[in-house]
Amino acid sequence: MALAVAMRVVSQAWVGDEAYITMRTVDQFVNGSGLRWNPDERVQSFSHPLWLGLVSIAYAVTREVPWTLTVLGALCSAAAFVVLVSTGRERNWPSLALPFLLFVTCPPLFLFGSSGLENPLSGLLLVGFGTILVNGLRRDRMPWVRLTGLGALAMTTRLDLAIALTPGFLFAVLQSWPHVRWKRVAAGTLPWLAWSGFALVYYGTVLPNTAPARFTSGAGPIAFVTRGVGDLTAVLADHPAVAITFGLALVITIRSIRAASRDRTETDAGALAALGLGAGLYALYIVWIGGDALVGRFWTTPLWIALFLIARGLPTLRVAIESKPRLERRMAQGGVIGLVLALHALPWLFDRTLGPRERPALRRELAHLRLNQNYVWVPSPEAREAIARGHEVRARKDADPLSVVQAGNVGFVGMTAGRDVRIVDASGRCDVLLARFAPTHDHVGARHRTVPAGYVAWRSSGDPHGLHPDLARYLERVHGLTSGPVFAGHRMRAIVDWNLGRFDGWLQGERDPERHGPDQTVESGDTSD
């Protein structure tokens, strides 16, 4: 089954621009330039430090991009599935086969298992956390270092995974109270604390630059939630297996809550209830932040937790159904069949109403770099155009090493252009200043920003004369943070001021997209959030 999972991931393999943004930082790091996007500044252009570290180790050996990312993703997905099916007390065929069938029929799991992003590693750590939680409570001997260690590694992979893990951790604390080994809990958190301390000193902030790029938007909270609901609707409408997986997990969660409330010694039920609650909170979080341009990307987190709940809770659910009278059993079975048929009709229904307007972005992104039937990587026209532009920039760089480029598909352009080229990312994900500007058009997430007058010239030459005076002051301070000596005393003070928002007043006027036009036209192209 693990081999089949890995093959399923590879068979649908693709690598998008988002992954190539990470790979440019990896390339800089492996070649001795540090964890940088541009060669002359420290900007955290990635949101998955642990995944970047794992990829860096592999890339240092292979010096190849798409297959390195694909194989790592397939291995993490297969490992997650092995851990998943080995957790149950009863390892019968339904407990093994159903999670496998749901995995291979849930496109987000295998599509984003090969995308070059952190999703498969997140799944492995989430499943591992659930396994340690359930087994530790069952034995009445919680391995706190391993539990909190895996949680810390998950947060180092993606910080918002803390939302999904917190209910499980709190349940473990409550069940073990007052015998919690707090020193071991603290020891387990060291991976995340170490990275956070490093990021604060090296980058000047704990949060990745992608966070302000996403949330600095002309769109209000209602627009975020509306798009998040559309993201969920599109996932459920397009993929009936996802709806079935969530539905079964919800039933198991409700049953676990009832069992735990009746008997506090039902630790398995309590753990499953806590994990289900964590998945629900994370689902609400996805809706709140507006989902993602890559529809389904963020939903892999609750999907992996749902598969864990099914693998662990299916035996008890089956026993509960079989204990019912014959009529009730038949009604339950008929309800499941009816649910499957109804869910398969959803794409036909929603293709006329909700969701499709979000899906073209995903289709275009999936086509960026795709593995064809002959296992050859084939770039889309947009990817070929970006790669060609990167080659042009690389050739121009030999004559002008200070070349500055604005690009839509910055990942492909950046990797092709080389490490020495400074690139202005108009989506803001890799640019400290533009991440804090609203998109040209109100939009949820990272999209093209209006580039202030004089900014590109300043990046190229360092001449501030074309900048607004307030913007020049802001850039002077931020430049010291991103490019100055790491341990300079004035930089430490600037880090405090920056995180307290004391520089933001200089940006208020410049944030108005109609105040200044862009320095130059930015090429079109989709960017994921």
Same domain? For 405 and 457 the reply is: yes
Same domain? For 448 and 303 the reply is: no
Q: What is the tens place of the pLDDT at every residue in 140-172?
A: 889 999 999 999 999 999 999 999 999 999 999
Q: Which domain holds residue 323?
A: 2-360
d(CA 418, CA 208): 23
d(CA 81, CA 176): 29
To the question of pTM greater than 0.85 for the whole model, the response is yes
Q: Has residue 517 been placed in a domain?
A: no
In this predicted structure, what is the pLDDT of residue 60? 97
Q: What is the tens place of the pLDDT at every residue in 319-359?
A: 555 555 555 455 555 555 555 555 555 444 444 333 344 46
What residue has token string 């490490």? 419
Cis preceding-peptide flag for 178 (omega within 30 of 0): yes
Same domain? For 322 and 441 the reply is: no
Q: Has residue 430 been placed in a domain?
A: yes
- Sorted by sequence, the CB contacts under 8 Å of residue 480 that are 6+ apart come out as 488, 490, 491, 494
- Give the end of a domain, one of 360, 390, 419: 360
d(CA 197, CA 207): 11
DSSP 399: H
Q: Has residue 181 been placed in a domain?
A: yes
pLDDT at 89 over 80: no
Same domain? For 253 and 134 the reply is: yes
Q: Has residue 516 been placed in a domain?
A: no
What is the domain count for the chain?
A: 2
Same domain? For 191 and 304 the reply is: yes
Give the helix/strand (H/E) hosting 80. helix 66-85
Q: What is the tens place of the pLDDT at every residue in 113-122?
A: 989 999 999 9
Q: What is the CA radius of gyration of the chain?
A: 24
Q: Has residue 345 been placed in a domain?
A: yes
Q: What is the tens place of the pLDDT at every residue in 393-446?
A: 888 876 665 667 766 789 999 999 888 888 888 888 899 998 888 776 655 555
Is residue 123 within 8 A of residue 74, CB to CB? The reply is: no
Same domain? For 314 and 397 the reply is: no
d(CA 434, CA 452): 9
Same domain? For 107 and 176 the reply is: yes
DSSP 196: H
Same domain? For 345 and 452 the reply is: no
